[in-house]
Amino acid sequence: MGNQFFSGITPKRRGAAALQSASRKLSETIDVIMDFLKAPIILFGYFILAPLLGSMAKNSRRVQNWIFATMVFMTSWHITKFTLMLCSVEKYRGHTKGFEFSFIEILALSLLIASTLSRQRDDRTWRRLPPGTLLYLLYCAVSWLSVTAAPNTLYAVMAGMRFTKAVIIFIGTFHFIREEKDVHLLLKSLAFTFLVQAGVVLKMKYVDHFYQIHGWFEHQNPLAMWAYMGGLPLLAAAMSNAEKTDSRWYTAGFIASAIIVQGSLSRGSLAAFAIGGVLVVALAMFDRITAKRVTFVLGMGIAGSIGLLLCINTIVARFHDEGNEASGETRVVMNLAAKAMLHHGAVGIGWNNFGLTINHPFPYGDVIDDQERERGHKVDDDYAKGVVESHYWLLLAETGYGGYATYMLFIAVTLWWCLRGVFVWRGEFPAAFLGGLFVGLLLIYLHSNLERVLTQTKNFSLWFILLGAAARIHCWQRVRR
């Protein structure tokens, strides 16, 4: 019977199958070996390098400045240059593909250690945790409950560790920023980072002839959203009462962010950047109308109009691409699939399990298959579907109402810090920075309904850096009051 079964398989096919199996086993063996090599590096970074850097930098503000500036610049690097992944599952299409460890977190941890070691006993303004930390950790704790419902527990733990330990960036930034000049360092570091990335974008556009440019990012959408999240605070700072040299840096950084957004041709980001620019100017004029601001707005308006005329045809063509309608329909059915997962249980389908449960044998992806059949397409049950684009539907599907509610509470509180600071610091530099940050964050949160960009390492790293600065200014206004 066995001979009859194998008689229909040619030696060539048997050889190919054996070769494929051997290749898979070799790949798995290499992955295990690489994990053994990565683990000591990760342990060294978090438990030896970070404390060493912190102890070396505790009495040197200059060293701390370089560490922090490097953190900001790293948010633009290729993801493989500052992260290491254990137990990587490359073929999995979830938002977390392994146990991720980031060099940005190591640097942030060193700044926290430096601040703790150099703490003055009579410094009443020093605090171990910034405001909002426990609220974010509450979101993480509630989301961890979804592990109990996850079909794949390991995937859920991967996401849990990744998002929980990322709070180190928020805390480290808060501890680094002690004076207003530290906020200026943040913005100048950001401006330099945008200028470098704008050079990459221009090279890819005019030398390599890319249509939609992704720069050093994995996709054009996170690149563009990263650019306007930091670019709008730079615009506000450029119109503030900052020194002339600093204002030039901020203006150059804002122009670079505009080049990045235009080069990406991300429709949502193009609209958000335009709306954000108008809102930032409106807030600046509400704060105080000055000759500098009027001149700046007129100059940027003329320069922007010329730039828009030069690329208007490309932008219009992007908004009329053939795939736009299909992309919108796919987003709708993915949201429907997420809605079905929400009813799986009180704690959702499990953190980072959307990419698993959207596929067979789970029924949640059937709505997508039905749509494909209606279009006359053949459905391949072995094809791996991706993750819903809406960050909010992703939260609801994976962590239930609890995870969604605590996350929304955290972003509402941080937005309130910025908006309130605009009034508390009116006429001063912090009001300008917080006004630009408020607009940038508000647009990012609205845009997150279409792009789950804050699940991506580089974007949420910059997000936490900016929030760390906002938390510190929030503490300053308490002292001031």
Nearest to 480 by CA among 183, 119, 125: 125
471 found inside a domain:
yes
CA distances from 225 to 92, 222, 336, 339, 461 (A): 24, 5, 25, 26, 13
286 found inside a domain:
yes
- DSSP E strands in 336-480: the ranges are none
Using DSSP's 3-state secondary structure scheme, residue 435 falls into helix
Using DSSP's 3-state secondary structure scheme, residue 320 falls into coil
8 A C-beta contact, residue 86 and residue 42: yes
8 A C-beta contact, residue 170 and residue 464: yes
Please report the pLDDT score of residue 290 as a whole number.
84
Q: Token digits for 181? A: 């000049």
12 found inside a domain:
no
The per-residue DSSP string of 387-411 comes to: --S-HHHHHHHHHHHHHHHHHHHHH
pLDDT tens sequence for the chain (481 residues): 444 433 445 555 555 555 555 555 555 566 667 777 889 999 999 999 999 999 999 999 999 999 999 999 999 999 999 999 998 888 898 999 999 999 999 999 999 999 999 876 546 667 889 999 999 999 999 999 999 999 999 999 999 999 999 999 999 999 999 999 999 999 999 999 999 999 999 999 999 988 889 999 999 999 999 999 999 999 999 999 889 899 999 999 999 999 999 999 888 899 999 999 999 999 998 888 888 888 888 888 887 777 777 677 666 666 656 556 666 777 888 999 999 998 878 899 999 999 999 998 899 988 888 877 877 778 777 778 889 999 999 999 999 999 999 999 999 999 999 999 999 999 899 999 999 999 999 999 999 999 999 999 999 999 999 999 999 999 998 766 5
CA distances from 186 to 5, 63, 257, 384, 406 (A): 69, 15, 15, 41, 28
Nearest to 172 by CA among 46, 40, 77: 46
CA distances from 357 to 222, 362, 366, 377, 399 (A): 25, 5, 11, 22, 14
CA distances from 432 to 24, 81, 195, 200 (A): 56, 34, 22, 29
Question: Could you tell me if residue 195 is left (phi over 0), alpha (psi between -120 and 50 degrees) or otherwise beta?
Answer: alpha
Separation CA 392–CA 450 (nearest Å):
9
469 found inside a domain:
yes
The 8-class DSSP code of residue 382 comes to T
Residues 6+ apart with CB under 8 A from 278: none
* β-bridge mates for residue 229, sequence order: none
Using DSSP's 3-state secondary structure scheme, residue 101 falls into strand
Structurally, how many domains does the chain consist of? 1
Tell the residue number behind the tokens 């901020």, with chain if given: 250
The 8-class DSSP code of residue 179 comes to S
**pTM over the 0.85 mark:** yes
Give 397: exposed, middle or buried? Use CB within 10 Å, 0-12, 13-18, 19+: buried
Of all helices (H) and strands (E), which one includes residue 102?
A: strand 99-102
Q: What is the pLDDT of residues 37-87, one digit of tens each?
A: 889 999 999 999 999 999 999 999 999 999 999 999 999 999 999 999 998
342 found inside a domain:
no
Separation CA 356–CA 386 (nearest Å):
9
Q: Token digits for 231? A: 């670019």
CA distances from 196 to 70, 174, 295 (A): 13, 26, 27
8 A C-beta contact, residue 223 and residue 215: yes
Separation CA 412–CA 132 (nearest Å):
11
Please report the pLDDT score of residue 19 as a whole number.
55
294 found inside a domain:
yes
How many CB atoms are closer than 10 A to CB 93?
16
405 found inside a domain:
yes
Domain span including residue 188: 131-323+388-480
104 found inside a domain:
no
CA distances from 101 to 32, 51, 110, 162, 223 (A): 17, 16, 15, 8, 21
Q: Token digits for 186? A: 């943040």
Q: Token digits for 46? A: 């978090």
Please report the pLDDT score of residue 14 as a whole number.
53
Separation CA 323–CA 422 (nearest Å):
41
Nearest to 161 by CA among 51, 226, 85, 109: 85
Please report the pLDDT score of residue 371 as a whole number.
79
Please report the pLDDT score of residue 410 as a whole number.
98
